[in-house]
Structure 1
């Protein structure tokens, strides 16, 4: 092993990528918009490598699903922070459902008064949340599937299956993710009902946060698997004895988490400002560009895993992230809003944001139907990607009024929601045995966590 390829040299290199941002923060230097985007973006890249190495090393001592769940929470922590900021502003400004209903859409959009601005921030909280969730599937799930198949020629990834037919090559998924898929399926079904009650309330919090807590309690009771053979930095740290190995993991998690949490918000804000300066509407930037920036650590982590022929772990991370965003992120918005409001309150949103929640739930429903049989083909990934990109592009055309469209932005969302729901339902019907299989595996995982024997031996691998 050459000195430059030594694992500690690689760790030092990743830390060095964060040095510029650390120096800027410690000295309080105002770098300006473009330099801030560059320096904070490089720091996010370095922190993402550290986070991936920490999660892989942790698999030596804790169940892999739990290690990946921790990775997912740390990777999307900035998204929570951005949404919490908007929810807090809405609550502190008194943006109740009744108060916002008395204002015109134009007044809220312009933020004419303190209350109107608070109602606008409530809408932004929902827009940022739905944008992040749709990006995670539309770009994350779809892009990583295609990238995995593409890289398989060099990585010899055993999860990739070459199939006959047009774009039929597929990434097969570990059936161990049945628990994550099942809980995501339940959260997705509930999300369709969220807009019917006029806002995000205590019932949503109790159910969605309860789902995530139950999921964590199940996976933390799992066994530590022998797992895949690691190489490089994770392999080096896994050879360390106790207590040094867990300390190394905690250090990697703590440092990478601090870097991601501190750097992503300026990175995202800088990108927003650059877009606004170039005539792109603020609402569009906050819904799409800011979440894309905040999701970047996780996408980088998954790319690192795929390049190591660990696509199974990569997809586990993506699905785990979608689960915690679709449960914790939505569920905690009402809590943050109520704390800022000074008493219990319901986070309000307008008709447009109700449609945003519906299309996000429908996209999740369709994507789950695509992988309920524990594989996703290049063809399916491209359909997910093209539906996502076409909707965003058409909405941009409508917002900027580039040319006449036969539908409004709200109607466009409903059309895509219907497409996702109809195609997803058809897929679930065709794959109903696969759905039964997946739910049976998840149910058995729950029983095993309670110390009971599985009751579906026919579902065992």
Structure 2
């Protein structure tokens, strides 16, 4: 092995990418906005590689699903931090449904008073959360599918199926992700109901956090499977003996998590400032640019896995990220809000944010309908991307008065929600046998976890 390709040299290179940010943080340097974006962005890139290597190494000692779930939580931790900040500010400022209801939308948007700013932060918490979730599917799921098929010409990824027809090549996913998809279906169904409660409250927390705890408990019961695709740095660390191997995993997780957690906020904030200088509205920046920055570690990690012909692990990580954002993120911001408020409360949001939650749930519903048969084709990936990007661009054009449409921004969200739901219903109806098979596999996982024999399911009809 070339000395330059030795695993420890690669680790050192990844750590070196974070050195600039470590120096800026420890020395208290205040660089220009552009320089801060550059050094924090490099730190995120280096940390993402370390995080991916840590997760792959951990698969030798813990169930793969659990390793990926930990990876997903660490990779989206910055998104939790951003949303938690807005939820805390909302509670500390006394933003309740009753108090915010007495203010006009214009006053809240302008942040004329402390209460108005708190109500605005409550809306921003929802906007940031829904933006992050839609980016994860609209860019993440679709982009990784397209990248996987493209890279398969070099990696020879066995998960890529070459099929006749225009853009009909597809990525075939492992049926092991049936558990994640089933739990995500439950979380998506609940998300449609969240706006009907007038905010995010205790019932939402109990259901969504409980759902994720049940999921983690289930994957912990899974068998440890050795991967024959492990190469490079993870393979090197997996050859270490106990206790050095788990210590290496903890070091990789801890250092990368610290870098990501500390670097993403300045990275996102710097991008926001650059965007504002270019005339992009602040609300739009909070919903789209900040989440794009905070989701970048996850997308980089998955791209690394796909580059190693581990597309199933990559999609597992993306689905797990979506699941923990759709459960833990929604559930915990309500807890943080109540702590800041000093009493139990329901995190309020306006009608516009209700529509944002519905379109996010609609997109999730449609995306799961695409994956229910454990494949995603190029056409399906492009459909996910086009629906996502067209709504964002149309919304931006409406905000900037670049176009005139027969609907306003709020109605546009409802139109897209309807499109997602109708398309999802049609797909589930056409693929109902695949849905039954998927739910059967998830049921097998539950039965196995509680010590019962699984029901043998050979394949979908």
Shared fold per TM-score greater than 0.5: yes
Indicate yes or no: 2:178 matched with 1:178. yes
Indicate yes or no: 2:12 matched with 1:12. yes
In structure 2, distance between residues paired with 1:343 and 1:361: 29
Instruction: Provide the residue aligned with 1:347 in structure 2.
Output: 347
Residue 17 of structure 1 contacts residue 45 of structure 1 at CA under 8 Å; is this kept in 2?
A: yes
Measured against aligned partners, the alpha-carbon deviations of 1:259-287 in whole angstroms (never above 9, x if no partner) come to 00000110001001110111100000000
Instruction: Provide the residue aligned with 1:392 in structure 2.
Output: 392
Instruction: Provide the residue aligned with 1:283 in structure 2.
Output: 283
Measured against aligned partners, the alpha-carbon deviations of 1:352-392 in whole angstroms (never above 9, x if no partner) come to 00000000000000000001000100000000000000000
Show the 5 A alignment for 1:20-419: 20-419=20-419
In structure 2, distance between residues paired with 1:459 and 1:152: 25
Secondary structure at 1:199's aligned position in 2?
coil
Residue 440 of structure 2 contacts residue 457 of structure 2 at CA under 8 Å; is this kept in 1?
A: no
In structure 2, distance between residues paired with 1:166 and 1:428: 23
In structure 2, distance between residues paired with 1:169 and 1:137: 19
1:399 Cα deviation after fit: 0.8
1:451 Cα deviation after fit: 1.1
In structure 2, distance between residues paired with 1:346 and 1:400: 33
In structure 1, distance between residues paired with 2:458 and 2:98: 53
Secondary structure at 1:401's aligned position in 2?
coil
1:226 Cα deviation after fit: 2.3
1:460 Cα deviation after fit: 9.7
1:148 Cα deviation after fit: 0.4
Measured against aligned partners, the alpha-carbon deviations of 1:225-247 in whole angstroms (never above 9, x if no partner) come to 12233111001000000000000
In structure 1, distance between residues paired with 2:456 and 2:211: 22
In structure 2, distance between residues paired with 1:282 and 1:314: 32
Secondary structure at 1:403's aligned position in 2?
coil
In structure 2, distance between residues paired with 1:214 and 1:164: 41
Measured against aligned partners, the alpha-carbon deviations of 1:373-427 in whole angstroms (never above 9, x if no partner) come to 0010000000000000000000001111113221100000000000000000000
Residue 441 of structure 1 contacts residue 459 of structure 1 at CA under 8 Å; is this kept in 2?
A: no
In structure 1, distance between residues paired with 2:233 and 2:460: 34
Secondary structure at 1:309's aligned position in 2?
coil
1:456 Cα deviation after fit: 4.7
* Residues paired across the two proteins, number: 461
Residue 15 of structure 1 contacts residue 46 of structure 1 at CA under 8 Å; is this kept in 2?
A: yes
Residue 201 of structure 1 contacts residue 347 of structure 1 at CA under 8 Å; is this kept in 2?
A: yes
1:32 Cα deviation after fit: 1.8
Secondary structure at 1:407's aligned position in 2?
coil
Secondary structure at 2:171's aligned position in 1?
strand
Larger CA deviation: 403-412 vs 387-396: 403-412
Q: Can you give the 5+ residue segments of structure 1 that lack an aligned partner in the other structure? A: none
Measured against aligned partners, the alpha-carbon deviations of 1:184-204 in whole angstroms (never above 9, x if no partner) come to 000000100100111000010
In structure 1, distance between residues paired with 2:397 and 2:317: 33
In structure 1, distance between residues paired with 2:354 and 2:228: 43
Measured against aligned partners, the alpha-carbon deviations of 1:14-48 in whole angstroms (never above 9, x if no partner) come to 00000000000001110121100000000000000
Q: Can you give the 5+ residue segments of structure 2 that lack an aligned partner in the other structure? A: none
Residue 152 of structure 2 contacts residue 309 of structure 2 at CA under 8 Å; is this kept in 1?
A: yes
Given the two structures, how large is their TM-score scaled by the length of structure 1?
A: 0.99
In structure 1, distance between residues paired with 2:364 and 2:312: 19
Residue 50 of structure 2 contacts residue 256 of structure 2 at CA under 8 Å; is this kept in 1?
A: yes
**RMSD (CA atoms):** 1.0
In structure 2, distance between residues paired with 1:457 and 1:420: 30
In structure 2, distance between residues paired with 1:268 and 1:197: 31
